[in-house]
Amino acid sequence: IANLHITATSGPCILIPPGVHDVTIQDNEIGPCTSASPAVSGGLNDRGIFSYQAGANITIRRNVIHDVSVGFLTQQGHHPVIFDRNYTFNILGPSWGGQVTQIADLSSGTGQSKFTCNVFDGTFPGAGLSRSRKSASPLASSRKATVRSLSSR
Sign, CA torsion 58/61/65/69: positive
Q: Please give the model's pTM, rounded to 2 decimal places.
A: 0.76
Sign, CA torsion 64/65/71/74: negative
pLDDT digits (tens, 9 = 90+) for 90-147: 888 765 567 888 888 888 888 899 999 999 886 655 544 444 433 333 333 333 333 4
